[in-house]
Structure 1
Amino acid sequence: MGKEIFQVILDNQNAVFYPGQNVSGRVDLELFDELKVTAINLSFKGYANVHWTERSGGKHKHTRHYSSNETYFNNTVCLFSGKHGDSVKLQAGKYSYPFNFQLPPGVPSSYEATIGRVRYFIQSDIDIPWAFDKHTRRMITVVNLLDLNTVPNAMNGATKSDQKTLCCLCCESDPICAMIAVDRTGYVPGEAIVFRSEINNKSDREMTCSKAKLIMQVRYHATTKTRNVNNIVNQTAHGKIEGGGTDVWMNEKLHIPAVPPSYLQGCNIIDIRYYMTMTVDPSGLGFDLNVPVEVVVGSIPLASIAQQHGMTLPPPPPPQDPSLPPPPPGAPQGLYTDSAMPSNLPQATLAESAMGRVSTREEGDTDETQGNTNFAPVYTYYNWDKPDPANTFTVQMDEGDTVN
């Protein structure tokens, strides 16, 4: 048996919180032998970080680092200490230390990826004299709700078209033309995007296939450079298009898995956008034709769409008295008077990110660091068009791929 059980226990067992909410729980320590300690501390940390490297140069290559950081909170409290900083022998037994912490308003949703993250956790540390300190960490998810009813034109449809020509030796082909249209631009995870598309292959070249993709474009802003990463969060395909042929997609659907809301509001170094994209792939040499139309993925559905699914959203708050001062920065906006998901929305659930789990080990972690270090945040998900949020996938596109 080990020498201790050391863990952070949350009163809210699903570990999902909203900006401005209270986070409470306790640190439990069970010792099976006596342990000499100087202090037991508890830290609450929330931050965003971006970091990647690029190699350049010819024969003498060098690596350049790009990074940026934002800190939303970093608070530490002492749960236990000896007098005047002296060490104390804790006898075998159980110890419990309650805690309470309020999240700041307006902090962004949790997000985890290889080169960027918005991360929140609670960590307790045992300071042990003349030995390795012990640490335990509890990751939490923060959901900053994006209300589609506050997004201009989210109920409106959108259409995009484009064309390109293929060159073979000195000859230029007639164009390949593609159009894609969506009935509206605002959606929530769990819905399906209904779209139409028409492709006219006026060239004499065969097109290998056409693909409809939902692409999550993430822009990571370092201090001196910005990097785009495009993730295919869902896709479907049609077969080949002969030279002079056409391909029509009529009222087809593409499901939206559990993904973070558009914009990642509250974060200044990571920006998320979604594009419904039609891709035409020519056989042989030649670049794909990509025709994207931007859609917005939110947390709160459009009121008229929710009503179609038998869901009644809370009424909007009454207009603010113009004689009163404006609300403070970060105050919740839209249909809700607080920033938490209303309890009367039974069709709204929380599902683990379709991006999958990542290692959340921090710099300085050792074998003495315990806790849930294999973690994925969760996002709002509506059991409407596809009840199983896990039946989805994500693919990171090759570096340099674009959607527009």
Structure 2
Amino acid sequence: MAAPSPSVLSLNLEHAELVFYSGEKIRGALVVQLATPVSVAGVELRFRGSARATWRDHVHEGMRRTEVEHEKEEIYFDDRFCLWGKVTDEGHWETREVLKRGRHLFPFQYKLPDGIPCSFEGPNAYVRYTVQGLVFRTSGECLSTQRCVTVLRDLDSKRDTEKRTPSPRHALEDHAERSFSSVCCRPGRVSCSLSIIKRGYVPGETIKTEIHLHNLSMRKSGVCKLQLKQLLTYGDSHSKYLVLEESKLFDAIRPGQRRQLREFPMHVPPTCPSRLSKCRVIDVRYCLALEAHFTDTVLYAAVPVTIATIPEKGILPIRWGYRECIRPINQDSDEPKEGQCVEFEPKYKYYEEIRDIRREKYYILKLRQSPGVRRRQLIAKSELGACAAEHSELISESHA
């Protein structure tokens, strides 16, 4: 005769995506499936939210080099609730009951605290939220199950009030140049510049970049590439970066060659919003970086960008959902490989299709032969809205 199947414990949550927002209620049920009757002292549910980061620094004392390991943790909540049974004031279980063979349901709901940081998983660091169910048996080990959930918090780049960052609508650019000396020729110079039209973007949006590269030296460059980087800071001191997206621009730039790219696209993948508000363990920021490699140096230009969750005015979100963030390999870390993967990856708000009606408005205003007045009005109402309608009279007068 076959042995009965072991006891099974599972957590059923209402939200199929397992995505919640700070201040929202988590509803569900702890399901206990017993193959045989079990003597139980109580059933408990635990909700925990915390941030943790570990990193290593090297300290030099004379000729001696010492490695120092750091760890920082922050707990946002750690709540326990008795779903079934009775607990004494000292925390001991009083109950001694037998749960019969079969399926038992223990429903629950829990309100997440307001203002907690967004979920995040990084190399040897995380902001993680868990729901754990436990069945304490009168004898033997307790039964336990746990699920991680994603907790999100919206960030609107228009209302980004951080004083040390420029306006989200301010055009940003960076320029870098380097001189190379030569024995037989006068020194040559290489330069690069990178610019974007705005600061704030949402996952799923495309960053349009303008890139200039000029090689006035006698050296041939190596590969030139554009990268979207996630900049991480642990404990206000330790920094590292991850490359989220990368595009190769050119294999090389020859001496005397000038290269220019207008509106070169860089896609924003599903990722954590900029900064982990209310988190004092981990800081998350982003930048767009241009690299031109030479034999003994790298020409580098970078501009900061803000990854938000709410599009700016003038951006039409056609459809959005949640997509899992697959963390890339850290390009600048000597951490062990086992720290490079985790079992859980958060899901972030992601826009499937997105249009910038401001660009369409600009295009129509620049037409050499504008359509008739009636057609312009129809276009303004259906495609551009009230904003473009205000300019239709201006177009008519300019082509009278």
Amino acid at match of 1:265: S
Amino acid at match of 2:150: T
Amino acid at match of 1:289: L
Q: Any idea what SS the aligned residue of 2:113 has?
A: coil
Shift of 1:183: 1.1
Rg larger for: 2
The aligned counterpart of 1:277 is 289
For 1:351, which of 276, 299, 323 is the aligned residue? 323
Asked if structure 1 preserves the Cα contact closer than 8 Å seen for 2:172 and 2:198, the reply is yes
Say if 2:250 is the partner of 1:230.
no
Deviations 1:50-91 (A, max 9, x none): 112356679997652211111111100112236862543322
Q: Tell me how far apart the structure 1 counterparts of residues 154 and 206 of structure 2 sit (CA, whole Å).
A: 20
Say if 2:68 is the partner of 1:64.
yes
The aligned counterpart of 2:48 is 45
For 1:303, which of 297, 307, 313 is the aligned residue? 313
The aligned counterpart of 1:319 is none
Deviations 1:136-194 (A, max 9, x none): 01111111110122136222321111112346799994332110010111110001100
For 2:255, which of 240, 243, 252 is the aligned residue? 243
Shift of 1:2: 3.1
Amino acid at match of 1:180: L
The aligned counterpart of 2:197 is 183
Between 1 and 2, higher relative CO (CA 8 Å, sep ≥ 6) is seen in: 1
Q: Map 1:246-265; keep pairs closer than 5 Å.
A: 246-265=258-277
Pair 1:219–1:172, CA change in 2 (3 A): farther
The aligned counterpart of 2:368 is none
Asked if structure 1 preserves the Cα contact closer than 8 Å seen for 2:53 and 2:125, the reply is yes
Pair 1:383–1:67, CA change in 2 (3 A): same
Q: Any idea what SS the aligned residue of 2:314 has?
A: helix
The aligned counterpart of 1:30 is 33
TM-score, scaled relative to structure 1: 0.75
Q: Tell me how far apart the structure 2 counterparts of residues 62 and 258 of structure 1 sit (CA, whole Å).
A: 38
Shift of 1:257: 0.5
The aligned counterpart of 1:9 is 12
Q: Tell me how far apart the structure 1 counterparts of residues 175 and 328 of structure 2 sit (CA, whole Å).
A: 33
Q: Any idea what SS the aligned residue of 2:315 has?
A: helix
Asked if structure 2 preserves the Cα contact closer than 8 Å seen for 1:255 and 1:385, the reply is no
Pair 1:153–1:168, CA change in 2 (3 A): same
**Aligned residue-pair number:** 328
Identity %: 24
The aligned counterpart of 1:81 is 85
- Root mean square deviation of aligned Cα: 2.6
Say if 2:96 is the partner of 1:94.
no
Q: Map 1:291-330; keep pairs closer than 5 Å.
A: 291-306=301-316, 311=317
Please list every run of 5 or more consecutive structure 1 residues that lacks an aligned counterpart in the other structure.
Answer: 312-345, 358-372, 387-404
Pair 1:156–1:33, CA change in 2 (3 A): same
Pair 1:294–1:60, CA change in 2 (3 A): closer
Pair 1:2–1:374, CA change in 2 (3 A): farther
Asked if structure 1 preserves the Cα contact closer than 8 Å seen for 2:242 and 2:328, the reply is no
The aligned counterpart of 1:209 is 223
- The structure where helix makes up a greater share of residues is 2
Please list every run of 5 or more consecutive structure 2 residues that lacks an aligned counterpart in the other structure.
Answer: 88-92, 161-165, 330-341, 356-400
The aligned counterpart of 2:375 is none
The aligned counterpart of 1:136 is 145
Q: Tell me how far apart the structure 1 counterparts of residues 66 and 189 of structure 2 sit (CA, whole Å).
A: 43
Q: Any idea what SS the aligned residue of 2:353 has?
A: coil
The aligned counterpart of 2:119 is 110
Deviations 1:282-304 (A, max 9, x none): 1x3x1211100001110000011
For 1:146, which of 136, 146, 155 is the aligned residue? 155
Pair 1:106–1:178, CA change in 2 (3 A): same
Q: Any idea what SS the aligned residue of 1:175 has?
A: strand
Shift of 1:112: 0.8
Q: Any idea what SS the aligned residue of 1:146 has?
A: coil
Asked if structure 1 preserves the Cα contact closer than 8 Å seen for 2:244 and 2:328, the reply is no
For 1:155, which of 143, 146, 169 is the aligned residue? 169
Q: Any idea what SS the aligned residue of 1:149 has?
A: helix
Q: Tell me how far apart the structure 1 counterparts of residues 137 and 64 of structure 2 sit (CA, whole Å).
A: 46
Q: Any idea what SS the aligned residue of 1:154 has?
A: coil
